[in-house]
Amino acid sequence: MPIPHEHLEQLKTQLGEHESRLETLRLQISALQAEAAAHEMMLRLGRNPELLHALNELYDRPELAGSLAEDPRAFFEQRKVEVPAGAIVTVTTDHGRPAVEARFKNPPFDYGVAWSRVDGFYLIAAAEPPALRDGPSQQGN
């Protein structure tokens, strides 16, 4: 006697639920790995003595903001600071208040780190990715 049709339908439903949960978990794991990479980048930059020395120089000599704004990568490279690949560095020189921002895209996160002569260090936070915020994907339902 074969397994009843109702049992096989029940199994099919349960397997579909497991597949859906597994998809959600994989999306969450990917998002968590991206978030961990973002934190690693922020730690690496915040603990970089050459970067801190360059910012100290900028703090002491705000007139350097002009050369920094012209070519941020060259400014930092001259000071032996490696600008991470993919970083978009912007500089604000308004009213003698230089600010340096480095933005990163690490899907699903867009984030950044920054320093301002007036405000100090700050983070440019991104919105929480949908995989973590929304729970299970609603595709295919």
CA angle 127, 129, 135 (to 5 degrees): 130
Q: Where are the domains of the chain?
A: 5-127
Supply 103's token pair: 């933005």
Residues 87-112 have pLDDT tens digits of 999 998 876 677 999 999 888 888 99
Asked whether the predicted pLDDT for residue 130 surpasses 70, the reply is no
Reported confidence tier of residue 2, pLDDT bands at 50, 70, 90: very high
Residue in the block written with tokens 């936070």: 125
Rounded to an integer, what distance in angstroms lies between the CA atom of residue 87 and that of residue 15? 43
Rounded to an integer, what distance in angstroms lies between the CA atom of residue 76 and that of residue 132? 35
31: nearest Cα among 92, 108, 118, 111? 108
Does residue 59 sit in helix, strand or coil? helix
In this prediction, residue 62 carries a pLDDT of 86
Asked whether the predicted pLDDT for residue 49 surpasses 90, the reply is yes
The length of the chain in residues reads 141
DSSP letters, 34-77, are HHHHHHHHHHHHHT-HHHHHHHHHHHH-GGGHHHHHH-HHHHHH
Give residue 58's identity as a one-letter amino acid code. L
Farthest CA pair distance, the chain:
88
Number of C-beta neighbours around residue 47 at 10 A: 9
Number of C-beta neighbours around residue 76 at 10 A: 21
